[in-house]
C-alpha cells in the first residue's frame, strides 16, 4: 500500500500552521490531504486554530471560546515566535475560508479540538456548525471529521452520516481502537506513530479498517513505518516525504 501524505496543519514546517499560506504551500508540494484544526468562537463561528488560545501562534492572547470572530481575526496568525514578521499579514482563517481555498484541490481532515466540544449537543455547537459549513461548501465527499473526542464524532455521525469520521488515538490497545471505530461507525482511525504495531495492522485489516499516523517528518522514519501498511501519514514536511515516497532528489 502506498500511503497518502497528509499535510499536518498544512506545510507547517515552512509556513505558519493552520493558515491559508500553509495550505497553499502544501498544495504546491502535492500533498494528498490537508489536515487542519478547528475551534468555536463565542459568537458561533468556526475558526482554524490548533490551540484553545491565541497565545502560541499569534501576536494576541486569550481563549478563543471567549472571543468573537472579529477579535480573533484582529490578530496576526503569522506565528511570530517562529517566523518573525515574514507572515504578519496572515489571519486566523475561518473554516469557510479554508474550504473555499481547498475545494476541488485537496481532501480535508478537520480535527475537532476538545476545547470547543460542549457537554451537550446543540444546534449551535461545533459539530452542528461543522456539518453546516461542509454541506454549504458541497464538500461532504471530500472531508473527514477527526477527533480524540468520541462524543463529538458520535454527534457528527448522527447529524451527517454521509461525512466520514476518524478516531484519533495517542495511546490505546488495538482492541480498544477497533471497538471505538465500530462505535462511531468509522472506516478510519488515526493513531500516533508510537502505537504502530503488527497487532494493530492485522486487526485493522481483519476489520477492513484504514489506519493513519502522525507526525512523521524524516524519510528514514517514514520508511521504517512502511511495514504497517498505513493508509496515510501526517507530516509537517509533506514535500520531504513525497520526495522520499517517489524517489525524487
Q: What domains does the chain contain, in order, with CATH numbers?
A: 4-245 (3.20.20.190)
pLDDT (0 to 100) of residue 45: 98
The verdict on whether 50 is a catalytic residue reads yes
User: By CB neighbour count within 10 A (0-12 exposed, 13-18 middle, 19+ buried), where does 121 fall?
Assistant: middle
pLDDT (0 to 100) of residue 172: 96
Give phi and psi for 109, each to the nearest 5.
Answer: -105, 120
pLDDT above 70: residue 57: yes
Contact 121, 96 (CB under 8 A): no
pLDDT above 80: residue 48: yes
Contact 42, 67 (CB under 8 A): yes
- pLDDT, tens digit (0-9, with 9 covering 90-100), for 104-149: 999 999 999 999 999 999 999 999 999 999 999 999 999 999 999 9
Residues above pLDDT 70, as percent of the chain: 100
The verdict on whether 167 is a catalytic residue reads no
Q: Average pLDDT of 56-70?
A: 98
pLDDT above 70: residue 249: no
pLDDT (0 to 100) of residue 56: 98
Catalytic residue among 8, 14, 45, 205: 8
The helix (run of H) or strand (run of E) holding residue 23 is helix 20-29
In sequence order, the β-bridge partners of residue 145 are: 110, 165
pLDDT (0 to 100) of residue 32: 87
Average pLDDT along the chain: 97
How far apart (Å, rounded) are the C-alpha atoms in residues 66 and 240? 38
* Cell numbers standing for residue 106: 485537496
107 Cβ partners below 8 Å, 6+ apart? 32, 33, 34, 142, 143, 144
How far apart (Å, rounded) are the C-alpha atoms in residues 82 and 126? 29
How far apart (Å, rounded) are the C-alpha atoms in residues 145 and 214? 16
Catalytic residue among 14, 45, 50, 205: 50
Amino acid at each position: 500500500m502506498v500511503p497518502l501524505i497528509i499535510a499536518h496543519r498544512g506545510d507547517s514546517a515552512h509556513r505558519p500552521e493552520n493558515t491559508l499560506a500553509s495550505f497553499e504551500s502544501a498544495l504546491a508540494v502535492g500533498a494528498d490531504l490537508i489536515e487542519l484544526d478547528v475551534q468555536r468562537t463565542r459568537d458561533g463561528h468556526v475558526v482554524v486554530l490548533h490551540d484553545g488560545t491565541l497565545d502560541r501562534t499569534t501576536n494576541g492572547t486569550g481563549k478563543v471560546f471567549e472571543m468573537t470572530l472579529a477579535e480573533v481575526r484582529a490578530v496576526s496568525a503569522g506565528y511570530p515566535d517562529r517566523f518573525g514578521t515574514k507572515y504578519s499579514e496572515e489571519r486566523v482563517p475561518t473554516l469557510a475560508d479554508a474550504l473555499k481555498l481547498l475545494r476541488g484541490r485537496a481532501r480535508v481532515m478537520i480535527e475537532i479540538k476538545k476545547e470547543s466540544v460542549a457537554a451537550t449537543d446543540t444546534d449551535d455547537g461545533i459539530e452542528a456548525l461543522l456539518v453546516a459549513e461542509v454541506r454549504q461548501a458541497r464538500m461532504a465527499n471530500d472531508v473527514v471529521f477527526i477527533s480524540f473526542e468520541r462524543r463529538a464524532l458520535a454527534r457528527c455521525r448522527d447529524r451527517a452520516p454521509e461525512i466520514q469520521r476518524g478516531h484519533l488515538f495517542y495511546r490505546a490497545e488495538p482492541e480498544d481502537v477497533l471497538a471505538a471505530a465500530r462505535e462511531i461507525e468509522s472506516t478510519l482511525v488515526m493513531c500516533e506513530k508510537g502505537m504502530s504495531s503488527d497487532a494493530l495492522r492485522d486487526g485493522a485489516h481483519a476489520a477492513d479498517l484504514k489506519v493513519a499516523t502522525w507526525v512523521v517528518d524524516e524519510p528514514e522514519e517514514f520508511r521504517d513505518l512502511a511495514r504497517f501498511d498505513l493508509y496515510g501519514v501526517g507530516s509537517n514536511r509533506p514535500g520531504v516525504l513525497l520526495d522520499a515516497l517517489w524517489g525524487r532528489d
